[in-house]
Amino acid sequence: MAIFKGAGVAIVTPMNEDGSVNYEQFANLIEFQIANKTDAIIVCGTTGESSTLTHEEHLDVIKYCVEKVAGRVPVIAGTGSNATDTAIYLSTEAEKMGVDGLLLVSPYYNKATQNGLYAHFKAIAESVKVPVILYNVPSRTGCNILPETVVRLCKDVENIVAVKEASGNISQIAHLAAIAKGCVDIYSGNDDQIVPIMSLGGLGVISVLSNVAPEQTHMICQNYLDGNVQEALKMQLDAMDLCNALFCEVNPIPVKKALSFMGMIDNNLRMPLSRMEEATSARLEKAMKEYGIL
């Protein structure tokens, strides 16, 4: 059974000016998401700036999220690392906190062969019992999890059940769907490809857009799942300018700026990320107004 269907938000981690986590704003974001029909919350992923959190902070944020959500929607924790032992540690601790699933990014910087990826993900998944979603984002990691490796892992390891596909390569994703024959749950990792990937059998999206438009993103997926394909397509196309604006600088710079435009968080990031440039900020604000969320 799928961990979730629909739109799961890759939620940001709000921060104070001194760089500490702002839990009051985080609580408000969680309530905003649940009130606006988000289907799952993915905490401490790329959008949550997990790479700049200490291990203690990483686990504190996951624990807080699980407790605040209190079972109302699934909570999936990003616990991947380029060090297998670190990923095992974060994953086993997150499982103790009651997460509904884990999101494991492919190893970055040191990368790995396909056999190395297989061994890495197998070792992490076998250290826990909760379901695991693989996360393929080669533009960030320099490491592409090939469809054959995804299928091999899902067949060989009982709790590896899905992949967040953010390669942007529709041909690769189509090949994955063809050879998986239903053994892999596929989620779009790109907001501009929700409907295309769902047309290949995908179950939804792990979304940046959902941070600012949770109900709309949910409805793109729900319309598709309900068979209202033309309405889902229209909603997908209507969101394209905003999707592009949310990635006109490296994620999560624009989405944090967008949430600050909405008055929901302070626009603070951890270095090496910096605040949005004036020109791209104006582009984002314009897209938000045209989409009707400002």
pLDDT, tens only, 134-193: 999 999 999 999 999 999 999 999 999 999 999 999 999 999 999 999 999 999 999 999
pLDDT at 5: 98
* Percent of the chain residues past pLDDT 90, beyond the cut: 99
pLDDT category, 1, cuts 50, 70, 90? confident
- Using the predicted structure, report yes or no on whether residue 222 has a pLDDT greater than 90: yes
Task: For 74-118, write each residue's pLDDT tens digit.
Answer: 999 999 999 999 999 999 999 999 999 999 999 999 999 999 999
Residue tagged active-site, from 5, 63, 164, 256: 164
Task: For 165-177, write each residue's pLDDT tens digit.
Answer: 999 999 999 999 9
State the SS3 of the chain: CCCCCEEEEECCCCECCCCCECHHHHHHHHHHHHHCCCCEEEECCCCCCHHHCCHHHHHHHHHHHHHHHCCCCCEEEECCCCCHHHHHHHHHHHHHCCCCEEEEECCCCCCCCHHHHHHHHHHHHCCCCCCEEEEECHHHHCCCCCHHHHHHHHHHCCCEEEEEECCCCHHHHHHHHHHHCCCCEEEECCHHHHHHHHCCCCCEEEECHHHCCHHHHHHHHHHHHCCCHHHHHHHHHHCHHHHHHCCCCCCCHHHHHHHHHCCCCCCCCCCCCCCCCHHHHHHHHHHHHHHCCC
Q: Is 164 a catalytic residue?
A: yes
Q: Flag whether the pTM goes above 0.95.
A: yes
Residue tagged active-site, from 63, 118, 135, 257: 135
Task: For 36-79, write each residue's pLDDT tens digit.
Answer: 999 999 999 999 999 999 999 999 999 999 999 999 999 999 99
Task: For 11-28, write each residue's pLDDT tens digit.
Answer: 999 999 999 999 999 999
* Percent of the chain residues past pLDDT 70, beyond the cut: 100
